Amino acid sequence: MAIPSFKPKRILWLDMEMTGLDPVCDWPLEVAMIVTDWDMKELASWEGVIHYAPSKLAAKFDANREFWDQQSDARRGLEVQNAYGMSREVFETELLAFLDEQFDEGKILLAGNSIHQDRRFIAQWLPRFDARLHYRMLDVSAWKVVFEGRYNKKFAKPEEHRALQDIRGSIMELKYYLAKVRVK
């Protein structure tokens, strides 16, 4: 049986900030998305924040204190924006409305750095969104492994731990690797 071809016209870049890395115990906080074409031209973007009770959010951050103590500015920013967040149900509905505006094809190609980790949170916390995604993903971290391991080439990606800025860094990183590829 032949696998049907998958040639999406657009790419959905995503980054998610979470309270930690365990998709069952930790919570998604902030999601940003950028839609690009294959030239990596930005066509649209979306950001959203999920609201949690401030005391419960602080407890989640404190449970991962070792990481968040090193990222205190990012933590403060995430705590401040929590006040403007929405329920997970409203958040997912608005996210899906954005996808409806941007994608008229079937399943959506998800892209980003270590995107498999974000995908685990999506599957756990945002099942309607997960259903829209193709099983194939464009993971920039795979390019990173190859270029560092085989060619000793490393991209200095800014690490801001804020979703929209992290996506733009991932797009810049893939463009860096693609510029080194010579197609015969």
For the chain, domains (ranges, CATH) are 11-179 (3.30.420.10)
pLDDT confidence of 161, banded at 50, 70, 90?
low
Alpha helices in the chain (DSSP H): 54-63, 65-70, 72-82, 88-102, 115-125, 127-130, 140-151, 163-179
pLDDT at 22: 93
- pLDDT tens, 53-82? 899 988 888 888 888 878 888 888 888 889
Tell me, yes or no, if 151 is annotated catalytic: no
- pLDDT tens, 7-57? 889 999 999 999 889 999 999 999 999 999 999 999 999 999 999 989 998
Q: Going by C-beta distance under 8 Å and a sequence separation of 6 or more, which residues neighbour residue 48?
A: 30, 31, 32, 85, 86, 91, 94, 95
pLDDT confidence of 178, banded at 50, 70, 90?
very high
Alpha-carbon distances, residue 9 vs 77, 105, 176 (angstroms) = 34, 8, 21
pLDDT at 78: 86
List 30's β-bridge partners, or say none.
Answer: 17, 49
Q: Inform me whether the pLDDT recorded for 1 exceeds 80.
A: no
List 133's β-bridge partners, or say none.
Answer: 108
Reported pTM: 0.90
Catalytic residue among 52, 84, 135, 151: 135
